[in-house]
Amino acid sequence: MMSKEIYKLHPISAVINFVKGLKELIIPIGIIFLSRFLNRSEELNFWTDLLPILIIGVPVIFYLFSGIIKWWTFIYWFEEDELRVEYGLFIKKKRYIPFERIQSLNYKEGIFHQIFGLVQVMVETAGSTDGKPEVELTAVKKDEAKRIEVQMYKSKNQKSNLDYLGNAKEGEFISEPLSESIHKMSNKDLLILATTSNSIGVVLAGIAAVVGQFSEYIPYDLIFEELSLFVQFGVVIILFTIIVGLLLAWLLSIGLTFLSYYDFSVMKESDKVIVTRGLLEKKKVTIPLNRIQAIKIVENPLRQLFGFASVIIESAGGAAGEKEKKMTLFPLIKKKQLIPILNDLFPNFELEVDIVRPPKKAKTFFYRMDFIWLIPVIALCMYFYYPYGLLSMLLIIPVILLGIWRFKTAGLAIRNNQLMIVYRRISRITFLVEKKRIQVVMRKQSFFQKRKKLASIQATVMSGITGATAIASHLDEVETNTVLDWIEHKRLS
């Protein structure tokens, strides 16, 4: 039994909920104010000036009152070894969560949280679906968040007769489990991460999306006229401008990377891994090791060249709101540092094993399917842009080279109870999974593969809604049958 002392959220949670709602209205509000600025006139027009503001005002007022009501009615307490929550004005909603079902407590500190010394607590259970936590405490004091963690540990210890938190009398503080630092990213690592990631492309795509929203108000005729005058200055000036633009996009991507991954650290605590990161919005995510379904080691070409990789884990839960239940465990790490760390975290995995690769007769299968989309593109370019369209035939070269690269990368290996699949799209991906975590193994064989005695093998683990999948393509059919026999022994046992 626990004392039924009622706790409430901090009043700032009303403001936080209100601001969350306003995020959905940023684009329409921006369009309204920009259109008003570009079409300034002395006379007010009801249909073009006042009506849009009134339409936007209704959801703004709704979000304001919704945030206040949620804060006013939201209470939680501890009773019968459960975290109990109640909220709602006209319709009361209650949730009773046994502490033994809680997989992890994840924390987030936005700007408002950091100003007032608060934290957002997200309670994850095995039943958390669609990336949403079972319960979300929008804003509580840090000692109140600690109280929830202490109550959870006390309840679990009493039921399992474990005492890794130490013996404590009722009302005394219980010490935390010992934590071990696994990895911490330096500012130099963050700079390399921003430079070798696709952040620049994301920035450029974001600029294009913003421009698309306001395309109605952009004077394209005037811009094209200025550009035609600008072109006359010569190729050097144009190249210089492009380089400056890319440099600014790179600097912006570095800033976004620092905001997202600042102070990135990984800690090991008992049977879970804790990842902390962020500057303006600090996040602390707990990942139970027993919920991890598979590991992906991802190396894009640039990182592979310099010996770097990133590690993504596929989890059945405890991913702090990640819709697909995947989480980046290491955004960037040297491969020579990675192997001993993963061996420590996941002793059941063997990373340095010999893989079975596709036979030479499978080489053409890795690029000839790309000609299905490539040939129509080349034909259209040659027809509409002749004779310059003939240059599109050069696309055949990189497609074939990429296919050969995929051929040299692909393969799989079985070692005891572990399946390793290596494949490449553009980045090289190493997929590691234990036999007991595999949900489905599928053997695929097309008509053309059958003629060459080839087949592909696909493994799927539970992660998110659709699961996480890896495929080893165009292997010798004997090797794919070996995988089926290996997984069949699991069912028999």
CA distance 284 to 291: 17
More confident residue, 394 or 245: 394
pLDDT above 80 (res 412) = yes
Question: What pLDDT does 361 receive?
Answer: 93
Task: For residue 86, report the phi and psi dihedrals to the nearest 5 degrees.
Answer: -140, 135
- The Cα 18–Cα 112 span in angstroms is 12
**What angle separates helix 235-261 from helix 199-213, to the nearest 10 degrees?**
100
Query: For the chain, what is the mean pLDDT?
Result: 81
pLDDT at res. 286 = 87
Measured CA to CA, the distance from residue 108 to residue 309 in angstroms comes to 26
Cis preceding linkage at 347, omega within 30: no
Residues 428-443 pLDDT 10s: 999 999 998 998 899 9
Better-scored residue on pLDDT, 483 or 177: 483
pLDDT band at 464 (very low <50, low <70, confident <90, very high): low
Tens digits of per-residue pLDDT, 332-356? 999 889 988 998 888 888 888 889 9
In a 13 Å sphere around the CA of 279, the CA atoms on its Cβ side amount to 10
CA triplet 212, 215, 219: central angle to 5 degrees?
A: 145
Residue 40: pLDDT band with limits 50, 70, 90: low
Task: With beta carbons less than 8 A apart as the criterion, state whether 223 and 229 touch.
Answer: no
In Å, how far from its chain's centre is CA 281? 16
In 88-234 the beta strands, taken as DSSP E runs, fall at 93-98, 102-109, 118-125, 135-141, 179-184
Q: Which amino acid is at 56?
A: I
Match 């891994």 to its residue by tokens: 273
pLDDT at 237: 67
Which range, of 275-289, 309-323, 359-373, 399-413, averages the lowest pLDDT? 309-323
- For residue 74, what are the CA distances in angstroms to 21, 69, 80, 85, 135? 18, 8, 20, 7, 11
3-state secondary structure of 39: coil
Confidence of residue 455 (pLDDT cuts 50, 70, 90): very high
Q: Are 102 and 123 in contact (CB under 8 A)?
A: yes
The torsion of the CA quartet 117, 114, 109, 278, rounded to 10 degrees, works out to -140
In the three-class reduction of DSSP (H, G, I as helix; E, B as strand; rest coil), residue 22 is classed as helix
Residue in this structure with the two tokens 């491969």, named with its chain if needed: 335
pLDDT tens digit string along 77-87? 998 888 999 99
d(CA 485, CA 421): 16
DSSP string, 57-89: HHHHHHHHHHHHHHHHH-EEEEETTEEEEEE-S
Q: Are 310 and 332 in contact (CB under 8 A)?
A: yes
Mean pLDDT of 169-192: 72
* 3-class SS of residue 123: strand
Crossing angle of helices 235-261 and 220-231, in 10° steps, is: 120
Read off the pLDDT band of 256 (50, 70, 90).
confident
